[in-house]
Amino acid sequence: MADVKPVKAGWFNVFRPWTLHGAIIPALIGGAVSYHDGTFCWWIFLMTVACCILLQSAANILNTYGDFVKGTDTEENHTRSPELVTGTLSAKKVFLAGMACLGIVALCGLVFIWYIGWGILIFGILGLGGAAMYTVGVSYKYLGLGQIGVFVLMGILMPLGTYYVMSGSISTEVLLLSLPNAFMITAVLSGNEMRDYYEDKKSKVGTLSGHMSYENGMKLYLIENFIGYPILFVLITFGCVHWFCALAFICLVDAHALYENSRKAPTDAGCNRLLVPMAFKHNWQFGLLLVIGYIVGNCVI
């Protein structure tokens, strides 16, 4: 589906604030478990959330820069990131903005090291590297590793790192609670790859979905959106997380709407454009309800 609605060029689109669920929800998961375990520190937590947001922003900004430098975004193909190809912004300014976000995170890392010790450094290095090298340097997006990177770096390491920076330890509970959400965060990028499937094919971007047929790419999108529910069911059944986390099952209503939209996406440009917003709405609501269910179940009931 090549019919993609153009967006307004500018800094707002470069930062893509609507994608920040991918940074905020993982931090909330780590923070919720830390609160329950009695290691929560409000100012460290707020700094961590800010750093997660800055890492996500850096990845978004440098993605715009990297796609332009590699020739992926051109005058003929600039519907999603028109800032550089149209000359609205300069490549240098966009690159420096992304590096500034990473620099602020690095400075905050010094505070984290002072507070909890050198162990947090590994999370910082992986986070900075993952955000910087999505389409710059190693450019793992072009190697078909974008979804894997999102799953590991944002879905798993962000909540683990949030917990670690306040407790100094790794939590199995955080890891397990993160799994359903990790798949749904990854589904957002999968939706992005499917929305731009044919354009990326022409540009030889090499995303994970691009290495599959369109049909299999859409199946992956649906699996990543839905697999969190059976995982959460198993976790609740075996007592790994509190039963009140089942509050997140309310989002099955959104999941059904997402499924119906995906069926129409191959032939309907409007539905194709909705693949991403429906996925991040699904992720926002599922993640928030999961965290609320965890806090209420463990700290109120």
* pLDDT tens, position by position, 59-82: 999 999 988 888 776 666 555 677
* Per-position DSSP letters for 71-120, written without gaps between them: T-SBTTB-SS--TTTTTSS-HHHHHHHHHHHHHHHHHHHHHHHHHH-GGG
Q: What is the pLDDT of residue 183?
A: 98
Q: What is the pLDDT of residue 2?
A: 44
Domain ranges of the chain: 11-299
Query: Which tokens hold the place of 23?
Result: 């940074």
Q: How far apart are CA 186 and CA 220, in angstroms?
A: 10
List the end-to-end C-alpha distance of the chain, in Å, as a whole number.
Answer: 49
Q: What is the pTM (predicted TM-score) of this model?
A: 0.94
Query: Which tokens hold the place of 187?
Result: 């589904």
* pLDDT tens, position by position, 189-242: 999 999 999 988 888 889 999 999 999 999 999 999 999 999 999 999 999 999
Count CA within 13 A, CB hemisphere, residue 194.
34
DSSP annotation of 81 reads: -
The label of the residue with tokens 């999603």 reads 80
- 198 with 2: CB under 8 angstroms? yes
Which residues of the chain fall below pLDDT 50? Answer: 1-3
- 221 with 189: CB under 8 angstroms? no
Count CA within 13 A, CB hemisphere, residue 197.
23
